Amino acid sequence: MARSSCTAKKQTPPAIWASSPGTLADLIVRCQHTELLGRLGRIGDRLGTRVFLVGGPVRDLLLGRESPDLDIAVESRARQFCNAVGLELGGRTTFHSRFLSGSVTTSVGIRLDINQTRTETYARPAVLPTVRPAGIEADLSRRDFSVNAIALSLAPSSFGYLLDPLGGRHDLQVRRIRVLHDRSFRDDPTRVFRAIRFAVRLGFDIEPGTLGLLRESVHDNVLARLTPERVLYELRLICREPLVLPIVEALIRERVLRAVWDWTPPKRFLFGLCRLVQHGAEPELLFIYWLSFLPVTERFPIRREEQEAAGWLNRFEPVREALVRSSRASTIYRLLKPIPEPALRIIAAVEPGASARRIRDYLDRLAQVRTELTGKDLKKMGVEPGPHYRRILDQLLYARLDGKVQNRDDELSLCRRLLARGKSG
């Protein structure tokens, strides 16, 4: 089998294959939610519908990995099933008839995503599909990769049995990502991102035929048809991955981002990303950093704070220059105060040298400094309220930052001096 260029370090095969392939009782016992899954199967039974655990959680269960979510598929009566689960488990329920899908968040915070089994047809490449109810087999075959197309029955009569009509277990065994049909990436080009993300996360190869199709769809520009919303959703998911760096490297190597936005990152992009990862930066910071390099348009579905922080990363140069020239705490404070904290945390991780040290000192210490006097005190002192309150309190704060005042009395006497100067001026 040819090696894809998108692989990470190999892991040892999961124990379940080594010991007793197909010992389903073993498998279900491994799952920390066995009891809950049994209840879901019984609820389905009462409503006369088959219920399955599907997709990621089954894949992860077979690999002996933790799975964050529980994806449930029901063959009919999805809304009633959702309501019944909400009632029985006592949780928050939502259901969207248009998408035939809903969710229940149980009282102990477990989230169940519940979907009616369906077929999906794509009118054009890269558009969202038309969805029609269908049985579990059809539902499995509309999925992205064989390893995500395995179902585990939750019905009481067949609890724990696997439904694997597309060879997903075999692909898990040989550790490869394989699409289920030739049009998969054209129908849904977000799968290009997903293939690379799963391959790196799981340390799998991308099966040669699949890699050929992936490259073909990159080459034929189907990715350019994706809406910014769908692409950014994928970028956010990538930022949450522990192996974000090799995923981004693989995306660059496979020219995926160039195909989407005609965007090739400069060398310093990966360098900065690497520094952020080394500093243990949260996904949100990685995303903002990435955003600051992208050709952002008003069609990008990003929050105002994200846009602002990303914008500051691109406008930081003059601040950096002023920052390395100044050592006075109040000057550093004034330079950095207008910049949102996420942007500062990113710069502090990415920048070398003096400016990074000053930003860290600002975040850890200076930004926390407060005056003891407040507006109320000024009022008590008989100062007429107005915009000069802010000016006086700022002067007190700067004096405190620079160590010129240490306590309330110092602040009071400085305040009196400022007021007297104000009167005489």
Binding site for ligand CTP (CB under 6 A): 55-56, 69, 71, 143-144, 148-149, 188, 190-191, 194
Query: Does residue 23 contact residue 271 with C-beta atoms inside 8 Å?
Result: no
Query: Does residue 284 contact residue 342 with C-beta atoms inside 8 Å?
Result: yes
Minimum CB–partner distance for residue 96 and ligand CTP (Å):
16
CA neighbor of 332 nearest in space, from 371, 367, 370, 368: 367
Q: Cα–Cα–Cα angle for 2, 66, 272, nearest 5°? A: 65
Minimum CB–partner distance for residue 226 and ligand CTP (Å):
11
Q: Cα–Cα–Cα angle for 140, 145, 147, nearest 5°? A: 85
Which of residues 67 and 355 has its CB atom nearest to ligand CTP in the complex?
Answer: 67
Which of residues 93 and 148 has its CB atom nearest to ligand CTP in the complex?
Answer: 148
| Unique residue bearing structure tokens 């694997």 | 164
What stretches of 131-227 show up as alpha helix (H) in DSSP? 136-141, 168-174, 184-187, 190-202, 208-219
Partnered with residue 115 across adjacent β-strands are 73, 101
Minimum CB–partner distance for residue 163 and ligand CTP (Å):
13
Element (H, E) at 289: helix 283-291
Minimum CB–partner distance for residue 167 and ligand CTP (Å):
14
Helix (H, G, I), strand (E, B) or coil at 368: helix
The residue count of the chain comes to 425
Minimum CB–partner distance for residue 384 and ligand CTP (Å):
60
Minimum CB–partner distance for residue 308 and ligand CTP (Å):
29
Which of residues 165 and 422 has its CB atom nearest to ligand CTP in the complex?
Answer: 165
Which of residues 57 and 86 has its CB atom nearest to ligand CTP in the complex?
Answer: 57
Which of residues 195 and 273 has its CB atom nearest to ligand CTP in the complex?
Answer: 195
Which of residues 85 and 149 has its CB atom nearest to ligand CTP in the complex?
Answer: 149
Which of residues 234 and 249 has its CB atom nearest to ligand CTP in the complex?
Answer: 234
Minimum CB–partner distance for residue 142 and ligand CTP (Å):
7
Sign of CA dihedral 25, 31, 32, 35: negative
Q: Residues 6 or more apart from 341 whose CB is under 8 A from it?
A: 363, 367
